[in-house]
Amino acid sequence: MARLEKGIILSHRQVAPEIYSLEFAAPALAREASPGQFLQVRTSPTYDPLLRRPISLFDAEAERGVVTLLYRVVGRGTSLLTELPVDGLVDVMGPLGRGFTLPERPEKVLLVGGGMGLAPLLFLGRMLKQGGSQVKILGGAADAQRLWAGNRFERLGISFSPVTVDGSAGRQGLVAELLADWPELDQVDRIYCCGPEAMMAAVSKIAREHNIWGELSLEEHMACGVGACLGCARLLQPGDTGYVKICKDGPVFNMSEVQLFKLD
């Protein structure tokens, strides 16, 4: 069940250029959330900016009753969000949307994240590890600072292979290039992917060529977040006659359902 909750902020800090981590107490939400779902976050109590911002769950720890969001400041809403003080309240709605499908038995899993697309993969990685899967992650970003989340994966025992555009950490280039050259690709059972659409398109192509089951997570501007306003509409395939709603039908889709053509 989704809920409207005001969580007490436990920590709120900048972790990389433009990137913030917001940790708050929300026991029921932490218990009910699953990886790949998102929250609709009120950025200020005023009416301008008006709408909530959809932010994916970076982590939801049921035992601690704590939820963590990782977000990037992209405009006025997220900029206002950075001002929320520790011990203050954050107004959230959720958990929302259809998250990642977890395997029924342990599998060999590869996570592929680009930029802020790394955020929803941490919670997923933790749940996969809990289920006994063997998990590795390929993470790409502009530079080493923006790969801050890498340590969090390592702490979970998930080996993190970095790629940066400027070469300041790991291989220089794009994460999809690292995936294409990945030596153990033929032993991989599933790939979960989140990041810029051009990157997800490249990853989906590699997964398809190697016959690997895969899921990816899409993003759209949203108003309601619950499937009521029909604002976050999108065609999954170029010739489709009906639109899916990212908030309710997604944000996670199977790679085979989606043909990414809105490249960014």
Partner 1 sequence: MESAKQDIMIDLAVDLGGIAMKNPVAVASGTFGYGKEYEDYLDISALGAVIVKGTTLEPRSGNPPPRIVETAAGMLNAIGLENPGVRAFAQEYLPYLVEKKVTVIANVAGNSLEDYAAMAAYLQGCSGIAGIELNISCPNVKKGGLQFGTDPHMVKEVVRAVKAETSLPVMPKLSPNVTDIVAIARAAEEGGADALSMINTLMGMAIDIRARRPVLANIFGGLSGPAIKPVALRMIYQVFPAVNIPILGGGGIMNSNDALEFIMAGASAISVGTGNFVDPQCAAEIAAGISDYMVAQGIGSLREIVGAAIQR
Question: Between 55 and 112, whose beta carbon lies closer to partner 1?
Answer: 55
- Does position 6 bind partner 1 by CB under 8 A? no
Q: Does 27 bind partner 1 (CB under 8 A)?
A: no
Nearer to partner 1, 130 or 243 (CB): 243
Tell the smallest beta-carbon distance from residue 30 to partner 1 (Å): 17
Q: Which of 58-66, 118-126, 185-193, 223-231 is the region at the interface with partner 1 (rule: CB under 8 A)? A: 223-231
Alpha-carbon gap, residue 163 to 137, rounded angstroms: 11
If one asks whether residue 54 binds partner 1 (CB under 8 A), the answer comes out as: no
The rounded Cα 239 to chain-centroid distance in angstroms is 27
263 binds partner 1 (CB under 8 A): no
Nearest CA to 97 out of 195, 199, 220 is that of 220
- Distance, CA of 148 to CA of 27 (rounded, Å): 26
Q: How many CB atoms lie within 10 A of CB 264?
A: 10
If one asks whether residue 31 binds partner 1 (CB under 8 A), the answer comes out as no
CA angle 2, 193, 82 (to 5 degrees): 55
Give CA–CA dist 168/155, Å, rounded: 21
Binding of partner 1 at residue 73 (CB under 8 A)?
no
User: Smallest distance from the beta carbon of 230 to partner 1, in angstroms?
Assistant: 5
Half-sphere exposure for 44 (CA within 13 Å, toward CB): 13
Nearer to partner 1, 42 or 152 (CB): 42
Side-chain-facing half-sphere of 178: CA atoms under 13 Å: 25
Instruction: Report the site for partner 1 in 79-108 (rule: CB under 8 A).
Output: 93
Number of residues that bind partner 1 (CB under 8 A): 31
Token digits of residue 77: 């809403």
Residues of this chain that interact with partner 1 (CB under 8 A) are 1-4, 42, 47-52, 93, 220-235, 241-243
